[in-house]
A and B are shown apart, each in its own frame.
Chain A
Amino acid sequence: MAPGLRETRSRLHGPPRNRPLRAAVLLVGALTAVPLAVLFSAWASPETAVWEHLAATVLPNLLRNTAALVLGVGIGTLILGCGLAWLTARCEFPGRRWLDWGLMLPLALPAYVLAFVVQGLFDTAGPVQRLLSQIPGLERVSFEARGTPWVIAVLTLAFYPYVYLLARAAFLGIGRGTLEAARLLGLGPWGTFLRVVLPTARPAIVAGLALAVMETLADFGAVSVFNYDTFTTAIYKAWFGLFNLPAAAQLASLLLLLVALALAGERRLRGAARFHETARGAPPPRIRLAGWRAILAATAGGAVLAVGFVLPMTQLVGWVAVSAGGGLDDRYWALLGRTLLLGGSAALVTVTGALLIGLARRRLGDRPSRIAADLSALGYALPGSVLAVGVMLSFAGIDNALNTLWRLAGGGSLGPVLSGSIAALLLAYLIRFLAVANGPVDSALERLRPSVVEAARALGARGLDLARRIYLPLLRPGLLTAALLVLVEVMKEMPATLLLRPFGWDTLAVRIFEFTSEGEWQRAALPAVTLVLAGLGPVIWLARRSAGAHESS
């Protein structure tokens, strides 16, 4: 029997039993859709006065800065990511094994942490310039570690791993057979690289590039360390500085448009093709580098690893060591506790949402659940600041309606009910990180093949017994991984938390923002180290998974 037929069948017989699932998925879909719809509706009724003001004041500068960053970081991550991926995936030189996973480590370092460490190290009062001034002839050299090149450098170092990871997987995925076939068809080594390797890897490289560009557009923490104006900082200033939510909304919708452009660009550059080549048989032999080439390769990789991870970490640990008591006081523990509580709740909500969507897509497979699934994947593309504005506008709208109803019913003023509540923040996390949870939850559901459940039922298991003996043990690892990934993402998240957190709900990232905006690098070091250590977990998971995927095959 055709397996497709079987699935159709169980779907046809699904609806009566699956009504709660359908309702839950529609709820998740609606929750993700509403803030987006609210933002888009800002385009439907542009507030001319606000726009004129913006155009006359900040807009030209914002657009110029954003364009410079996107271009600079795009080129930077492309060169760094692809070059390093080629070296570690296809070449052999001393230290390659270490660099292979070591070059993923910068992923654990949030861009804003790297930014403030670079500031602390290189700015006028920093150790580097003090050192320079002791060299005869250089006493008068003085510069500010600010401006476009510095921001581009920091963001490139922070975001190149996206390109690196995807390009590396693509390079590793090209099978020996493909390369040998190309050689037999008359292509030389360079011809093979240009006409077979690059075109095959292009979709992956473009996907990585798109991620880097979207992170650049979304970045708030790093650019604010450098006092560099972009849309995210402008949204923050409009909201908190001028209490002008409409202006923030217009800026957010413009940023959303840029993100959409980046996504569309990715689709276009990637072309219709998605190449999923799984290398069969032996991997192609690596290109052995010797002599100065080997030294060059090792130095390049080592330098990126040093500047992108080792040096910043060393400096952070140094700062923690010199600050009194390391800063490990009650306030720190309370902060960590609240961060974990918030991250844990967000993980619970998000993993539940991802599980519902995954189940619905498999069990129902109908239009609404497919749309909900697509929407849930979109959230990760939304910059935190944009999302915060969307959630805030939706909740303010609901609050207004509630207040009106209450007054009509004869009550007094209710005041804000939802806006400013923890629910707003959790919703923002849910939307933003559903896509993060989707991956592991999906692969967990994949293990739960229909035949496995049927086999258990044929052996007499049902109801809770079935859940306890089959569903839970099979899903648990995936759900835990998803929860861990979301927890770490929430811990590192800065702009949405900053804009939406209720009073008293500071997280480590918020504290870092507060310290760094005062220039207190040393006091920001401990929360930063905590975040990096937490972030190492997912990076190790990622490195293991990609190693496993290519060594077991």
Chain B
Amino acid sequence: MPDTLLKLDDIACRYGELTAVDGLSLRLRRGEIGCLLGPSGCGKTTVLRAIAGFEPICAGTIRLDGRDIATPAGGLPPDRRGVGMVFQDYALFPHLSAAQNVAFGLRHLPRRERRDVARRLLDLVGLDGLVDRYPHELSGGQQQRVAVARAVAPQPPLVLMDEPFSNLDVDLRERLGGDIRRLLKEQGIAALFVTHDQHEAFLIGDRIGVMREGRLLQWDSAFALYHQPADRFVADFIGQGRLISGVLSAPDAIETAFGMIRGNVAYGWPAGRRVALLLRPDDVVPDPAGPVEGEVVGRAFKGAETLYTLRLAPDAEVLCEVPSRLDYPIGARLRVRAEVEHLIVFAD
């Protein structure tokens, strides 16, 4: 790929006995925004730190802009990699003003120019008028913006962001996420984020990777992660849903409690094979004439919709999203049918 900026090839990182990252490969294109998503402890931060040069790798290679920056034999020190980084705690320099923080990495420029660049960037992140404030005089969101401005100021081809929104409240997250995405796109800077929050990942990432126990399970678009998850963990981690069991009766048809469900692709398994089918809440629709009846065992009011958990059999549950004007109490019985567009099937 000619426009590949960052290429991780089969990298591994170990802490003594513990393998934090194992056989991970991914590519990020110039100007693309990637996002590593996973539960805490899955090794996603370690990947970022390995790219930045703060952790050595014990297998594989990391290539940036066509040259190897890290191999098991060693790598470029962080200060020569030219990669920007936004830390989870922002790591602003407490003794420097906002503008001085942003100008920190601009040593190669003359003083006046440094100041101008810092001002322009603080303008861009919406902090004009606060250039001379010190970090302790800024709110969390403002500190975050300074940290981003500081990381992009030297115009690095790539910026790494470690849980950049985890210390902010939800409203602010969405607004800042959008702002930062716009800024990165305008400047043509590629970025790799780390987060455990899928909404954040969907909001910002062009391409999202789900990690578990040091491995990258899937590196794909948000749409593909939701509708074509590579395995059960991804299916479970992204979005909501429940697995129900079924039997393959034809290459593209599954016999289930809901009757025959047809997909739009053929599966490679022989007929008669037992499989598990993922049903998202919007795949299950109330229908008085539906083939199955379930008991309401859980309900969560969400405003426009209510999310019901239905028990079909002692070991089978589905989720069902219903307009909230239809109200069923716990214990009520509800007939439903399945309305599935993308079949998500795993071997049982």
Please judge, given known A-B contacts A2-B41, A454-B52, A459-B105, whether A473 and B95 are in contact too, CB under 8 Å: yes
Shortest Cβ distance from residue A366 to the other chain B in the assembled complex, whole angstroms:
14
Does A287 belong to the interface (CB within 8 Å)? Answer: no
A451/B46 in contact, CB under 8 A: no
In the bound complex, CA of A451 to CA of B167 (Å): 15
CB contacts (< 8 Å) of B55 on chain A: these are 9
- By size class, the interface of chain B is 35 or more
Shortest Cβ distance from residue B56 to the other chain A in the assembled complex, whole angstroms:
7
A449/B91 in contact, CB under 8 A: yes
CB contacts (< 8 Å) of A291 on chain B: these are none
Shortest Cβ distance from residue A454 to the other chain B in the assembled complex, whole angstroms:
6
B93/A454 in contact, CB under 8 A: no
Does B89 belong to the interface (CB within 8 Å)? Answer: yes
- By size class, the interface of chain A is 20 to 34
Please tell me which one of the listed residues B45, B83, B89, B104 contacts residue A461 in the complex, with CB atoms under 8 A apart. B104
In the bound complex, CA of A469 to CA of B93 (Å): 10
CB contacts (< 8 Å) of A465 on chain B: these are 107
Shortest Cβ distance from residue A339 to the other chain B in the assembled complex, whole angstroms:
33
A1/B104 in contact, CB under 8 A: no
CB contacts (< 8 Å) of A452 on chain B: these are 91-94
In the bound complex, CA of A454 to CA of B91 (Å): 8
Does B34 belong to the interface (CB within 8 Å)? Answer: no
In the bound complex, CA of A455 to CA of B55 (Å): 14
Main secondary structure of the interface of A (DSSP, over half): helix
Residue in chain A with minimal CB distance to B147:
A455
B79/A461 in contact, CB under 8 A: yes
A451/B41 in contact, CB under 8 A: no
Residue in chain B with minimal CB distance to A459:
B105
Shortest Cβ distance from residue A447 to the other chain B in the assembled complex, whole angstroms:
6
Does A5 belong to the interface (CB within 8 Å)? Answer: yes
In the bound complex, CA of A181 to CA of B254 (Å): 60
CB contacts (< 8 Å) of A470 on chain B: these are 93
B20/A5 in contact, CB under 8 A: yes
A462/B77 in contact, CB under 8 A: yes
Shortest Cβ distance from residue A20 to the other chain B in the assembled complex, whole angstroms:
19
CB contacts (< 8 Å) of A97 on chain B: these are none
A458/B79 in contact, CB under 8 A: yes
CB contacts (< 8 Å) of B145 on chain A: these are none
CB 8 Å contact bits of B64-92 with A (1 = contact, 0 = none) = 00000000000001111111110111011
A1/B46 in contact, CB under 8 A: yes
Residue in chain A with minimal CB distance to B56:
A13
In the bound complex, CA of A465 to CA of B77 (Å): 15
CB contacts (< 8 Å) of B53 on chain A: these are 457-458
Does B44 belong to the interface (CB within 8 Å)? Answer: yes
Residue in chain B with minimal CB distance to A476:
B95
CB contacts (< 8 Å) of B324 on chain A: these are none
Please tell me which one of the listed residues B16, B78, B154 contacts residue A457 in the complex, with CB atoms under 8 A apart. B78
Please judge, given known A-B contacts A1-B40, A2-B40, A13-B56, whether A454 and B85 are in contact too, CB under 8 Å: yes
CB contacts (< 8 Å) of A8 on chain B: these are 15-16
In the bound complex, CA of A8 to CA of B84 (Å): 24
B78/A454 in contact, CB under 8 A: yes
CB contacts (< 8 Å) of B40 on chain A: these are 1-2
CB 8 Å contact bits of A1-27 with B (1 = contact, 0 = none) = 110011011101100000000000000
Does A474 belong to the interface (CB within 8 Å)? Answer: yes
B104/A458 in contact, CB under 8 A: no
Please judge, given known A-B contacts A13-B56, A474-B94, whether A458 and B84 are in contact too, CB under 8 Å: yes
Does B150 belong to the interface (CB within 8 Å)? Answer: yes
Does A281 belong to the interface (CB within 8 Å)? Answer: no
Shortest Cβ distance from residue B218 to the other chain A in the assembled complex, whole angstroms:
20
Please tell me which one of the listed residues B15, B52, B87 contacts residue A12 in the complex, with CB atoms under 8 A apart. B15
B43/A459 in contact, CB under 8 A: no
Does A54 belong to the interface (CB within 8 Å)? Answer: no
Does B49 belong to the interface (CB within 8 Å)? Answer: yes
A1/B43 in contact, CB under 8 A: yes
A458/B52 in contact, CB under 8 A: yes
CB contacts (< 8 Å) of B269 on chain A: these are none
A455/B79 in contact, CB under 8 A: no
Please judge, given known A-B contacts A456-B104, A457-B77, A458-B78, whether A451 and B89 are in contact too, CB under 8 Å: yes
A12/B89 in contact, CB under 8 A: no
Does A460 belong to the interface (CB within 8 Å)? Answer: yes
CB contacts (< 8 Å) of B81 on chain A: these are 458
Please judge, given known A-B contacts A12-B16, A458-B83, A460-B107, whether A451 and B91 are in contact too, CB under 8 Å: yes
Residue in chain B with minimal CB distance to A461:
B79
Shortest Cβ distance from residue B90 to the other chain A in the assembled complex, whole angstroms:
8
Residue in chain A with minimal CB distance to B163:
A1
In the bound complex, CA of A449 to CA of B89 (Å): 10
A474/B85 in contact, CB under 8 A: no
Shortest Cβ distance from residue A541 to the other chain B in the assembled complex, whole angstroms:
20
A454/B87 in contact, CB under 8 A: yes
In the bound complex, CA of A516 to CA of B154 (Å): 67
In the bound complex, CA of A371 to CA of B214 (Å): 36
CB 8 Å contact bits of B1-32 with A (1 = contact, 0 = none) = 00000000000000110101000000000000
B79/A460 in contact, CB under 8 A: yes
CB contacts (< 8 Å) of B94 on chain A: these are 447, 452, 474
CB 8 Å contact bits of B35-69 with A (1 = contact, 0 = none) = 00000110111100100111110000000000000
Residue in chain A with minimal CB distance to B80:
A460
In the bound complex, CA of A457 to CA of B79 (Å): 5
CB contacts (< 8 Å) of B52 on chain A: these are 454, 458
B104/A459 in contact, CB under 8 A: yes
Q: Most chain-B CB neighbours within 10 Å: which of A455, A456, A462, A473?
A: A455
CB contacts (< 8 Å) of B104 on chain A: these are 456, 459, 461, 469
Shortest Cβ distance from residue A440 to the other chain B in the assembled complex, whole angstroms:
16
Please tell me which one of the listed residues B16, B41, B154 contacts residue A1 in the complex, with CB atoms under 8 A apart. B41
Q: Most chain-B CB neighbours within 10 Å: which of A13, A452, A460, A465?
A: A460
Residue in chain B with minimal CB distance to A458:
B85
CB contacts (< 8 Å) of A451 on chain B: these are 87-89, 91
Please tell me which one of the listed residues A13, A447, A455, A460 contacts residue B87 in the complex, with CB atoms under 8 A apart. A455
Shortest Cβ distance from residue B156 to the other chain A in the assembled complex, whole angstroms:
9
Shortest Cβ distance from residue A479 to the other chain B in the assembled complex, whole angstroms:
14
B15/A474 in contact, CB under 8 A: no
In the bound complex, CA of A460 to CA of B105 (Å): 6
CB contacts under 8 Å to A, within B89-117, are: 89, 91-95, 104-105, 107
In the bound complex, CA of A10 to CA of B52 (Å): 14
Shortest Cβ distance from residue B190 to the other chain A in the assembled complex, whole angstroms:
15
In the bound complex, CA of A457 to CA of B104 (Å): 11
CB contacts (< 8 Å) of B46 on chain A: these are 1
CB 8 Å contact bits of A474-509 with B (1 = contact, 0 = none) = 100000000000000000000000000000000000
In the bound complex, CA of A451 to CA of B46 (Å): 14
Please judge, given known A-B contacts A458-B52, A459-B105, A460-B105, whether A5 and B79 are in contact too, CB under 8 Å: no
CB contacts (< 8 Å) of A454 on chain B: these are 52, 54, 78, 85, 87, 91
CB 8 Å contact bits of A112-138 with B (1 = contact, 0 = none) = 000000000000000000000000000
CB contacts (< 8 Å) of A455 on chain B: these are 85, 87, 91-93, 150
Known: A454-B85, A454-B87. 10 other contacts (CB 8 A): A8-B16, A452-B91, A454-B54, A457-B53, A457-B79, A458-B52, A458-B79, A460-B79, A460-B107, A461-B107
Q: List 24 A-B contacts (CB under 8 A).
A: A1-B41, A1-B43, A1-B46, A5-B20, A8-B15, A12-B16, A451-B89, A452-B91, A452-B94, A454-B52, A454-B85, A455-B93, A456-B93, A457-B78, A457-B79, A458-B78, A458-B83, A458-B84, A458-B85, A459-B79, A459-B84, A461-B104, A462-B77, A465-B107
B interface residue numbers (CB < 8 A to A) = 15-16, 18, 20, 40-41, 43-46, 49, 52-56, 77-85, 87-89, 91-95, 104-105, 107, 150-151, 154
The list of the 8 closest CB pairs from A to B, nearest first, reads A459-B105, A1-B45, A451-B91, A455-B91, A462-B79, A458-B85, A457-B78, A451-B87
